[in-house]
Chain A
Amino acid sequence: MENRSLYHPMTTYSLIKKLSKDTTRSIFFVCLATSVVGMSLGSLAASYGLALWIPLCLSVFVLAGTAEFIFIGFLAVGGSPIAAAIAGLLVNLRHLPFGIAVNELIRGKFSRYFGAHIMNDESVLFGMAQPDFETKKAAYWLCGICIMLSWPLGVTAGYFIGTAIPDPKTFGLDAIFPAILIALTFNALKNKSTRKAAFAGSTLALITTPFLASGLPILISLFGLIFGRKK
């Protein structure tokens, strides 16, 4: 029999206990904020007069927030759903390098098919920020599963509450996503070549954002890696 102990679901559950309390609480808080952003997507869809199944299917089967906002936005202005899907796919191309980077965390005969689906900015981020393999894996799965649940729940709730919910911006929730990204990549940036690459890449993305279709500037940031090479 093959040794699959490291990839067994029950093992993942017991690994979660190894995460620091700060990490676990932060993951839950981020998921809470995610569900509020989901509510704004749901209420947006309702205000455009779209049927509930549209944002709900997106949130369950796509599970990538930015692409879903773009899709709903396209439909709202009467754009073609196929063009909307292509614009969304452009944003989601970043999951290819993400997948390569976190592949060790999602192996397992069956769990890899599920593990690939819960790959998103937050799960990759929390996964990569942990100190060792076991906590990396636990953080990736815990965050991924919590986002998978909180996002569609938020979308559905937002759809029914409709325009009565306040803008997430009122509570400053839009600052949370960049804040956790910065907090959790901070340690990796202590490495000089990583810092050079990240600085160059972020500058490239920032300059190109006003001119290019969304998704492209993020991919262009990878050119920053050229600046991080060791001579």
Chain B
Amino acid sequence: MNQQLLIILGIGLLALGTYSIRFAGFHLGAKFTFSEKYQVLLSNGATVLLCAIAVTTTFFEGQDFAGFARIFGVGFALLLVWKKVPLLLVICLAAAGTALLRLLGIE
């Protein structure tokens, strides 16, 4: 089979598969009414996933160490969130802090 056709198949598989996963999640959630206990569990589950994504993307780039600049930038953001700084400012300062450290030669 030629490479172009394989790539089309690959993209098709990834797109359809991803959409099916998304829709299946929605469908399962909409079809069944969960007791309050399970609703709490599901909402905790989403929070756990989001936190795990936050922590792994802070420390890793793929499977490699992400470098200290990003870790300090995100740590700074955490401090600002704790101090109840508005979200937009948190975002800008996290990026600016990380960029500044890199400018200073910390990677």
Q: Which A residues form the contact surface with B (CB < 8 A)?
A: 22-23, 25-26, 29-30, 33, 54, 57-58, 61-64, 67, 71, 75, 80-82, 84-86, 88-89, 92-104, 106-107, 112-113, 115-117, 119, 121, 124-125, 128, 169-186, 188-189, 193-194, 197-198, 201-202, 204-206, 209-210, 214, 217-218, 221-222, 224-225, 228
Contact = CB atoms under 8 A, between A and B. Distances in A.
Contacts of B51: 181-182, 185, 189, 198, 201-202, 221
Contact of A170 (B23, B25, B63, B102): B102
Contacts of A95: 18, 21-22, 25
A201 B7 contact: no
Interface string B49-69: 111111111111111001001
Contact of B22 (A117, A181, A197): A117
* Residue of A92, A175, A189, A218 with most chain B CB atoms under a 10 A cut-off: A175
Interface string B31-57: 000000000011111111111111111
Contacts, number: 283
A73 to B, nearest CB: 9
Contacts of A115: 26
A116 B20 CA distance: 9
Nearest to B101: A172
Q: How large is the interface on B (under 10, 10 to 19, 20 to 34, 35 or more residues)?
A: 35 or more
B30 interface: yes
Contacts of B44: 193-194, 197-198, 225, 228
Contact of A188 (B9, B14, B25, B47): B47
Given A89-B18, A100-B42, A179-B77, 14 more contacts: A63-B18, A85-B10, A99-B24, A101-B29, A103-B28, A112-B30, A172-B73, A175-B70, A175-B73, A180-B90, A182-B51, A188-B43, A206-B59, A209-B59
Contact of B46 (A71, A101, A169, A176): A101
